[in-house]
Amino acid sequence: MFRSELAQQLRVDSVRASTAAGSGHPTSSMSAADLMAVLLDGHLRLDFSRPDHPANDHLIFSKGHASPLQYAAFKAVGAVEDDELLTFRAFGSRLEGHPTPVLPWVDVATGSLGQGLPVGVGLALAGKRLDRLPYRVWVLCGDSEMAEGSVWEALEHAGHEQLDNLIALVDVNRLGQTGPTMHGWDLSSYAARAQAAGWRTLEIDGHDLDEIESALAEAERGDGRPVMILAATQKGKGVAEVADKPGFHGKPLAHAEEAIAELGGLRDLRVKPVAPEDAAPHAFDTGNTGLPAYEEGTELATRKAYGQALAALGDRRGDVVAMDGEVSNSTFAELFRDAHPDRYFEMYIAEQQLIAAAVGMQVRGWCAFASTFAAFLSRAYDFVRMAAISRADLRLMGSHAGVAIGEDGPSQMALEDLAAFRAVHGSTVLYPCDANQTAHLVAAMADQPGISYLRTSRGAMPVIYPPDEEFPIGGAKVVRDGADVTLVGAGVTLHEALKAADLLAHEGIGARVIDLYSVKPVDTATLRQAAKETAGLVTAEDHWPEGGLGEAVLSALAEDPVPVRRLAVHEMPGSGKPAELLGQARIDATAIAEKARELVP
- DSSP state, residue 474: T
Q: What is the pLDDT of residue 587?
A: 98
Q: What is the pLDDT of residue 560?
A: 85
Given the residues 351, 496, 541, 551, the one annotated as active site: 351
On whether both 204 and 166 belong to a single domain, the answer is yes
pLDDT of 190-233, one tens digit each?
999 999 999 999 999 999 999 999 999 999 999 999 999 999 99
pLDDT of 435-487, one tens digit each?
999 999 999 999 999 999 999 999 999 999 999 999 999 999 999 999 999 99
On whether both 89 and 220 belong to a single domain, the answer is yes
Backbone angles phi, psi at 261, to 5 degrees: -65, -40
Q: Which of 239, 262, 285 is the last residue of a domain?
A: 262
Q: What is the pLDDT of residue 170?
A: 98
C-alpha angle 209-210-211 in degrees, rounded to nearest 5: 90
On whether both 72 and 199 belong to a single domain, the answer is yes
Q: What is the pLDDT of residue 357?
A: 98
Given a cut of 90, whether residue 601 has pLDDT beyond it is no
Element (H, E) at 384: helix 381-389
User: How far is residue 74's CA from residue 81's CA, in Å, rounded to a whole number?
Assistant: 9
pLDDT of 387-420, one tens digit each?
999 999 999 999 999 999 999 999 999 999 999 9
| 313, 89 contact by CB (below 8 A) | no
Q: What is the pLDDT of residue 400?
A: 97
Q: What is the pLDDT of residue 600?
A: 94
Does residue 273 lie within any of the structural domains? no
- Segment 150-170 mean pLDDT: 98
Does residue 287 lie within any of the structural domains? no
On whether both 251 and 342 belong to a single domain, the answer is no
As separate numbers, helices (DSSP H) first and strands (DSSP E) second, the chain gives 22, 19
Q: What is the pLDDT of residue 42?
A: 95
Buried b (16+ CB within 10 A) or exposed e, 58-78: bbbbbbbbbbbbbbbbbbbbe
Does residue 279 lie within any of the structural domains? no
Q: Which of 242, 262, 282 is the last residue of a domain?
A: 262
Q: What is the pLDDT of residue 277?
A: 94
Does residue 328 lie within any of the structural domains? yes
On whether both 444 and 542 belong to a single domain, the answer is no
Given a cut of 90, whether residue 550 has pLDDT beyond it is yes
On whether both 435 and 487 belong to a single domain, the answer is no
Does residue 282 lie within any of the structural domains? no
| 306, 438 contact by CB (below 8 A) | yes
On whether both 419 and 506 belong to a single domain, the answer is no
pTM confidence score: 0.97
User: How far is residue 430's CA from residue 437's CA, in Å, rounded to a whole number?
Assistant: 10
Does residue 280 lie within any of the structural domains? no
On whether both 79 and 111 belong to a single domain, the answer is yes
| 463, 297 contact by CB (below 8 A) | yes
| 274, 44 contact by CB (below 8 A) | yes
User: How far is residue 288's CA from residue 290's CA, in Å, rounded to a whole number?
Assistant: 6
On whether both 106 and 252 belong to a single domain, the answer is yes
Written as one letter, the residue type at 487 is L
Given a cut of 90, whether residue 568 has pLDDT beyond it is yes
DSSP notation for 300-360? EEHHHHHHHHHHHHHHH-TTEEEEESS-HHHH-THHHHHH-GGGEEE--S-HHHHHHHHHH
User: How far is residue 313's CA from residue 309's CA, in Å, rounded to a whole number?
Assistant: 6
User: How far is residue 359's CA from residue 398's CA, in Å, rounded to a whole number?
Assistant: 17
351 included as an active-site residue: yes
Residue 211: C-alpha distances to residues 34, 70, 236, 241 (Å): 11, 22, 20, 26
Read off the CATH number of the domain in which 117 is found. Answer: 3.40.50.970
On whether both 484 and 453 belong to a single domain, the answer is no
pLDDT of 236-289, one tens digit each?
999 999 999 999 999 999 999 999 999 999 999 999 999 999 999 999 999 999
Given a cut of 90, whether residue 527 has pLDDT beyond it is yes
Rg, C-alpha atoms of the chain = 27
The number of distinct structural domains making up the chain is 3
User: How far is residue 450's CA from residue 210's CA, in Å, rounded to a whole number?
Assistant: 44
Q: What is the pLDDT of residue 561?
A: 86
Does residue 375 lie within any of the structural domains? yes
On whether both 346 and 447 belong to a single domain, the answer is yes
User: How far is residue 540's CA from residue 514's CA, in Å, rounded to a whole number?
Assistant: 11
Residue-range definition of the domain harbouring residue 41? 2-262
On whether both 236 and 362 belong to a single domain, the answer is no
Read off the CATH number of the domain in which 578 is found. Answer: 3.40.50.920
Does residue 420 lie within any of the structural domains? yes
Q: Which of 243, 262, 281 is the last residue of a domain?
A: 262
